Chain A
Amino acid sequence: MGARSTLAELLWAEKYRPRSLREIVNQEEIVKRLQVFVKEKNMPHLLFAGPPGTGKTTAAHALAHDLYGEDYRLYMLELNASDERGIDVIRTKVKEFARSKLPANVPFKIVLLDEADNMTADAQQALRRLMEMYVDVTRFILIANYPSKIIEPIQSRCAVFRFTQLKKEDVISRLKWICSNERVSCDDRGLEAIYEVSEGDMRKAINILQAAAALGEVNVSNVYKVVGLATPAEVRALLKSALFEGDFLKARENLRKLMVTYGLSGVDIIKQLHREIFSSEVSIPEEMRVEIADYLGEIQFRLVEGADDEIQLSALLAKLVLLGKPLRQQPQAKPTKVK
């Protein structure tokens, strides 16, 4: 692989992240307007909205970098709301930083709240007050996948920037550029496959690229191999024991392993199962694939409502055990076993 003299490596998604607004090639309109803020050394509160991997976090950091220089992190508080979502964080950490004295050399400080749509409603209310009270010394940048989950009064205090899905050519040319920098060989079909499985999410695409490169070169077979290997074996095992063996307890054991050892959330597991049931390597009667997908959607909806991961996924397992009953009763169902 690439430069042999390199002793320590980083994740490419970090290594090739644009540091300055000038380096960002997509989202031209947005970048142009952000550069005006830099030039005037002033900006309103900002809300960056859009799908994952479209450059929201990168743009926020680049903006701060261009405003304050290399040591921009001295003047910025970064929080990821999905890790610190409660009202306490807002009342303590954020409040303290927001009202602290303004260093002489900067026009304002920045609070960056990533995944802000994961904040509780209470925390958002508290945040709203801080945004008003300390606007003269502190500006907020909120980042969200779903801006509708940000309460109205906050939205109305922010300039909203909508990041759009990256174009296929843009993602692929970026991946190509990384490959040439790393001296990794790649072919177009491999890169296209990465674009397909990462659904336009640049961070995901670069991560997959790096793992595929670690297998030798970036081609279609390595890309799918990586994606397959990155899916824990327990996902398929769970499907097998529930649907084909009707063994609820065994399936639940796999479920717990996925949640506890791998730390996957209920929604993560549902998404992986969704991929599995439509995989050509798993033989399920066609109409049953659809039936399962329907129920996966139902369970994911319940989880989004705030229900408990293990209980809801256990309900899913029970459904699979029930759906699989006819498969288990006919002996000729043998070849439909999961590989």
Chain B
Amino acid sequence: MPQERKIPWVVKYRPSRIADVVNQEEAKKVFLGWLDSWLRGKPERKAALLYGPPGSGKTSLVEAAAKEYGLELLEMNASDYRRSSDIERIAVASSRGASLTGARSKIILLDEVDGISATADRGALDAILNLIDKSAHPVVLIANDPWDPKLRELREACLLIEFKRLTKTEIKKVLQSICKSERLECEDEALEFIAERAEGDLRSAINDLEALGEGFGRVTYALARSVLGYRNRELDSFEVVRRILTSKYAWQARAAASQTDLAPDELIQWINENIPRQAADPEDLWRAYESLSKADIYMARIVRSGSWDLLAYASDMMTAGVALAIRNPQYKFKWVKYSFPERIRVMAKTREVRQIRDDLAKVIAQHLKCSTAVAKSEVIPLLRVIFENNPEYAAKLALGLGLSDSMIRYLSERNGDRIAKRVEELRVELRKSLLEGLESPTKKGVEKAEAPAKKALGKKGAKSSGGLESFFKK
């Protein structure tokens, strides 16, 4: 499967120096002070717990500090350290590392510790406490919500460092500088809008900007509104999708889904969009889609029957079902570029042409007394054939049906202009022959063409299609 190996902007623009980490001066001071105390060899607390809202710079600060201090970063995600044996392995590595080289060369970073389940992962919590106790290197834990009761013991073992929610102005400033580097033209109101709805989450703001910039080239306020406006504030949808699709256990996928404000029918679109980006193996792809398809069927049954109890199963199938179907992910998750549901983008991009198509379907439906669905699937394709192959006849039809120029161009890109011009000529001719009086030799033909048109258009038809009215408008 062809896959562009583009670096997501959140990775590309991750701060490489401590000074680049936006704001959080207080947190920086405390964190660096603690790190210095480690390097001097006398830490007050062996571990630090960085906490704060998503996208406020916790991981970024640790990474930037590691870089600047020349420390190796040993990073683990919630999914990696669920088993206590994994954590023990690190613990061993970290203590041995110190004794062999004598250098304090590492930071051990445990991300997403609030993702650990208190009951199922009791062993994991103990193992982390043990790791903190034994470690010869600074241990950093990261969490969104440190006040979770299950983290009590960890809290007590750590130095707590709070990250503030970023302000709108701070976020906007970062977005502006990214626009500049990417040479992306972006309306000020659009940036304002993105920053506003990010509610302090810089990562989601950057993701939003990238989604808009990539799809459209130029970012306007109207575009930002129509693409982003449909959902409310959520826990970064990209992050939720990443967590779901990279889950190794059912509980992880389900927990990730519970952390989003996306409605189930939106979430299923996000997952639908991104399955093929995660699953490269045809077996995986098919299994994942069978699962998503089942989730979708449950959703349909909910709508039909009104039994919301089924939602639990729909949710299981679209999260855990999909995640576990992907057994051989081809790319390391960091490099998978997740996307906005393209459907929503496409809908915004094609609004105009869909409008023309729907109007055309209405005109036809009225003439043929059928539904617009039948007009679209049965009649429009045949009209296309006529418009592509017989422009003269097409012009007569366009006149008789009262099609607008844009409808004519919709039916034939190739001949559109020519047919539209011919319709004008026919219209003039028709008008002339009507004015020439009833004795005119062409009278018969005109009447013949007109009579059924008048009948068919009736009162309603004339209003919407403008057929007969437009004969006389000049």
Shortest Cβ distance from A233 into chain B, in angstroms? 11
Question: Which chain B residues (332-360) contact chain A, with CB distance < 8 Å?
Answer: 342-343, 346-347, 350, 353-354, 357-358
A43 on the B face (CB < 8 A): no
Which A residues touch B371, using CB under 8 A?
80, 82-83, 114-115, 118
B377 interface neighbour in A6, A247, A268, A314, Cβ under 8 Å: A268
Most interface-central of B268, B289, B401 (chain A CB within 10 A): B289
A302 interface neighbour in B293, B444, B459, Cβ under 8 Å: B293
Would you call B456 and A211 a contact (CB within 8 A)? no
A165 on the B face (CB < 8 A): no
A14 interface neighbour in B343, B353, B380, B452, Cβ under 8 Å: B452
Would you call B1 and A249 a contact (CB within 8 A)? yes
A215 interface neighbour in B293, B365, B390, Cβ under 8 Å: B390
Known A-B contacts A3-B445, A261-B350; the reply to A314 vs B368 at CB < 8 A is no
Would you call B444 and A252 a contact (CB within 8 A)? no
Of A131-139, A166-174, A304-312, the stretch lying at the interface with chain B is A304-312
B286 on the A face (CB < 8 A): yes
A285 on the B face (CB < 8 A): no
Known A-B contacts A80-B371, A207-B378, A263-B354; the reply to A9 vs B396 at CB < 8 A is yes
| Interface flags, A308-339, vs B, CB<8A=1, else 0 | 10111011011101100100000000000000
B421 on the A face (CB < 8 A): no
Would you call A214 and B286 a contact (CB within 8 A)? no
Would you call A7 and B426 a contact (CB within 8 A)? yes
A264 on the B face (CB < 8 A): yes
Which A residues touch B364, using CB under 8 A?
11
Which B residues touch A325, using CB under 8 A?
282
Would you call B272 and A14 a contact (CB within 8 A)? no
Known A-B contacts A8-B430, A11-B367, A263-B376; the reply to A322 vs B293 at CB < 8 A is no
A151 on the B face (CB < 8 A): no
Closest residue of B by beta carbon distance from A216: B390
Would you call B445 and A315 a contact (CB within 8 A)? no
Would you call A321 and B285 a contact (CB within 8 A)? yes
Would you call B376 and A207 a contact (CB within 8 A)? no
Question: Which chain A residues (219-243) contact chain B, with CB distance < 8 Å?
Answer: 226, 229-232
Would you call A311 and B292 a contact (CB within 8 A)? yes
Closest residue of B by beta carbon distance from A325: B282
Would you call A10 and B401 a contact (CB within 8 A)? yes
A6 interface neighbour in B353, B448, B456, Cβ under 8 Å: B448
A203 on the B face (CB < 8 A): yes
Closest residue of B by beta carbon distance from A298: B293
Closest residue of B by beta carbon distance from A85: B371
Would you call A3 and B448 a contact (CB within 8 A)? yes
Would you call A78 and B369 a contact (CB within 8 A)? yes
B222 on the A face (CB < 8 A): no
A260 on the B face (CB < 8 A): yes
Known A-B contacts A215-B389, A306-B304, A325-B282; the reply to A57 vs B370 at CB < 8 A is yes
Would you call A260 and B385 a contact (CB within 8 A)? no
Would you call A226 and B385 a contact (CB within 8 A)? yes
A274 on the B face (CB < 8 A): no
Which B residues touch A3, using CB under 8 A?
445, 448
A248 on the B face (CB < 8 A): yes
Known A-B contacts A6-B449, A11-B368, A114-B369; the reply to A307 vs B400 at CB < 8 A is no
A246 on the B face (CB < 8 A): yes
B368 interface neighbour in A9, A13, A256, Cβ under 8 Å: A13
Would you call B290 and A229 a contact (CB within 8 A)? no
B429 interface neighbour in A7, A13, A261, A310, Cβ under 8 Å: A7
| Interface flags, A177-211, vs B, CB<8A=1, else 0 | 00000000000000000000000000110011011
Taking residues whose C-beta sits less than 8 angstroms from the other chain, chain A's interface range is 35 or more
B400 interface neighbour in A10, A306, A308, Cβ under 8 Å: A10
Which B residues touch A17, using CB under 8 A?
369
Shortest Cβ distance from B121 into chain A, in angstroms? 33
A230 to B377, CA, bound (A): 10
Would you call B386 and A318 a contact (CB within 8 A)? no
Would you call A207 and B453 a contact (CB within 8 A)? no
Would you call A10 and B453 a contact (CB within 8 A)? yes
Which B residues touch A211, using CB under 8 A?
382-383, 385-386
A1 interface neighbour in B304, B353, B393, Cβ under 8 Å: B393
Shortest Cβ distance from A239 into chain B, in angstroms? 16
Would you call B365 and A80 a contact (CB within 8 A)? yes
Which A residues touch B75, using CB under 8 A?
none
Known A-B contacts A3-B448, A263-B361; the reply to A73 vs B458 at CB < 8 A is yes
A11 to B400, CA, bound (A): 9
Would you call A8 and B293 a contact (CB within 8 A)? no
Would you call B397 and A261 a contact (CB within 8 A)? no
| Interface flags, B421-455, vs A, CB<8A=1, else 0 | 00000100110010000000010111011101100
A237 to B333, CA, bound (A): 31
B115 on the A face (CB < 8 A): no
Which A residues touch B361, using CB under 8 A?
263
Query: Given A8-B426, A268-B377, A318-B285, 18 other A-B contacts at CB below 8 A?
Result: A5-B442, A6-B448, A7-B449, A8-B450, A10-B397, A80-B372, A214-B389, A214-B390, A229-B388, A246-B282, A248-B285, A260-B346, A261-B357, A302-B293, A307-B297, A311-B296, A318-B290, A322-B282
Binding site for B on A (CB under 8 A): 1, 3, 5-11, 13-15, 17, 52, 57, 61, 73, 78, 80, 82-83, 114-115, 118, 203-204, 207-208, 210-211, 214-215, 226, 229-232, 246-249, 252, 256, 260-265, 268, 302, 305-308, 310-312, 314-315, 317-319, 321-322, 325
20 interchain pairs, CB-CB under 8 A:
A10-B367, A10-B401, A11-B367, A14-B367, A14-B368, A80-B370, A82-B373, A210-B382, A214-B389, A249-B1, A261-B350, A263-B354, A305-B301, A306-B303, A308-B300, A311-B272, A312-B296, A314-B289, A317-B289, A321-B285
Closest 6 interchain pairs by CB? A5-B445, A306-B300, A230-B381, A8-B400, A9-B396, A318-B289
Binding site for A on B (CB under 8 A): 1-2, 268, 272, 275-276, 282-283, 285-286, 288-290, 292-293, 296-297, 299-301, 303-304, 342-343, 346-347, 350, 353-354, 357-358, 361, 364-365, 367-374, 376-386, 388-390, 393-394, 396-397, 399-401, 426, 429-430, 433, 442, 444-446, 448-450, 452-453, 456, 458-459
